[in-house]
Structure 1
Amino acid sequence: MLRPLFRNYSQISQALLPFASRKLRHGQGLTTHCQRANAYASATIERKKFYEDVTISQGEGGLYEINLDRRKLKTPGGKLFTVPNEALAIAVATEWDAQKDTLKFYTMHLTTLCNTALDNPTQRDKNQMITAALKFLETDTICYRVEEPPGLVDLQKNEWDPILDWIENRYNVVIGSSSSIMGPQIPEETKETFHQHLNSYNFWSLTGLEYIITQLKSVILSLGLIDRHLTVEQAVLLSRLEEEYQIKRWGNVEWAHDYDMYELRARTAAGALFVHLTSESATVKRKLLQD
């Protein structure tokens, strides 16, 4: 049996793995293309386990494959399941190795993201993905502020303003916030800066980044997470700030709140891990190993 080898990614994987057995509940308010991708990825909810051992091997072009016993894993679209580096192959193989008698595909977030990148069910290119991601910037969670109650106004200011200041300084842009239903007017220069930055990601990494953005409903929080300015727990909490405020004020159904929180953390952690693993440079990896 394959042993998990996540020591270099412990902070993210520790946030992800404890929730691997919990059922995925799709986020609300996703764009149409993401809804189609989610439906495609979760078409088969459960299946009886049909293999004993999980291994990885390197195939043509240096790509890595996942083997279930002696059978090569394939995507839902029928393509050979291949990933660009060994670290991601190990992460995906660990998901398959962790399955028990029944395969719970809705817990296998990294496998789902790989399938999406390989099959590209919505048939989009990088530019279309970037355009879709930037639409979230215009309705970013932390840019919309309330005018009352005073407690929530202060909470948003105290918790959201620092991350907004950070990203404006980090990327030398102007974003701002607004209590108007129309939201802030994002300058074209800001959009162009973010477009150029997102264009620096490869197709696979963009797939993971877009996934995080749809979970958090925020480009700002997603970039804060990927840049390691925020932890998974911090990013999720900031994305749910108003909900958490209302829960503390009025109470909640405890198990439902915990369930939603765990699910969002698991999906967000998986997305972040996927981005980091698909952004990995083999050259940089070799240099670090030599050092």
Structure 2
Amino acid sequence: MFRSLVRLQSQFGNALFLSKVCPRSQQSRFALKYSTAAAERKRFYQDVSISQGEGGLYEINLDRRKLKTPGGKLFTVPNEALAIAVATEWDAQRETLKFYTMHMTTLCNTALDNPTERNKDQMINAALKFLETDTVCYRVDEPHGLVELQKNEWDPVLHWIENRYNVTIGSSSSILGPEIPEATRDTFRQHLNSYNFWSLTGLEYVITQLKSVVLSLGMIDRHLSVEQAVLLSRLEEEYQIRRWGNVEWAHDYDMYELRARTAAGALFVHLSSESSTVKRKLLQD
């Protein structure tokens, strides 16, 4: 039933289910409920299914129980594709439920409960703040090898996004960073406003992971793969590792973890933007 997710997921890499991330809440009255999602629990259901409820929204059923959010709301998603993604996460759990691996479920919970109680304008403002400290805009003066690496790897992406959105961003080695023109902010504000609340939730999550609006939009627009975006966001760290070596296993763990979170966010953006239902024939493939 859930094979279509594999096809959807392949656009963003296989890292989605390879790693762990604990859900976070910034609102104190939700903190306890959300913190429980970081724990493991014995699986209490046999079958996972989806159903369409009121208003055309899709629900997740664990046996005959309807899934609810940490805030106590009925867990509903806007389309079938996203419902399949969430149901797949629950179906993939074994004897023990590892909630920290269920990225799509966590993002849906965040969109439904909105623990920080923000609206679209506030989310857009938060995302645009990252332009001032964007990873690809801050350059070093030395060592020469890293200077050249940043220029060779980051400049093409920066030029792409400037041409793609007809904006000026630039880069700087100053601690103050580049001065972002107001026209650039306005252009990105208008673009981000075209996303619905759910998609913005996913996009802001991706931006937070990569610390970069440039890399996030490059990936969402399919100019970059998940693997490329993550490597570019870790460029200085990767340079230092090649130069000095790394702690055994720790580097790979961190890399897979970041890929998993980034892939989940990208997939969430695209699935929550999907207005039509998944074709029945895809579910039967």
Normalised TM-score (structure 1):
0.90
Residues 1:91 and 2:90 are matched in the alignment: no
Give the 3 Å change call, closer, same or farther, for CA 81–25 of structure 1 in structure 2: closer
Distance 1:57 1:202 in 2: 23
Distance 2:144 2:28 in 1: 36
CA apart distance, 1:223: 0.2
Distance 1:110 1:100 in 2: 17
Distance 1:37 1:134 in 2: 26
User: SS of the residue aligned with 1:242?
Assistant: helix
Distance 1:164 1:38 in 2: 38
Unaligned runs of 5+ in 1: none
Correspondence list, 1:33-182, <5 A: 33=26, 41-44=34-37, 45-182=39-176
CA root-mean-square deviation: 2.3
Distance 2:130 2:29 in 1: 18
Q: Paired residue for 2:4?
A: 5
CA apart distance, 1:280: 1.1
* 1:127-181: CA deviation from partner (whole Å, max 9, x where unpaired): 0000000001110000000000000000000000000000000000000000000
Residues 1:193 and 2:193 are matched in the alignment: no
User: SS of the residue aligned with 1:61?
Assistant: helix
Distance 1:18 1:119 in 2: 24
* 1:220-240: CA deviation from partner (whole Å, max 9, x where unpaired): 000000000000000000000
CA apart distance, 1:254: 2.7
CA apart distance, 1:46: 1.4
Aligned length: 279
Normalised TM-score (structure 2):
0.92
User: Higher RCO, 1 or 2 (CA under 8 Å, sep at least 6)?
Assistant: 2
Distance 2:28 2:204 in 1: 12
Give the 3 Å change call, closer, same or farther, for CA 191–153 of structure 1 in structure 2: same
Distance 2:242 2:76 in 1: 46
* 1:61-116: CA deviation from partner (whole Å, max 9, x where unpaired): 11000000000000001100000110100000000000111111110000000000
User: SS of the residue aligned with 2:14?
Assistant: helix
Distance 1:165 1:34 in 2: 38
Unaligned runs of 5+ in 2: none
* 1:206-231: CA deviation from partner (whole Å, max 9, x where unpaired): 00000000000000000000000000
What percentage of aligned pairs have identical amino acids?
76
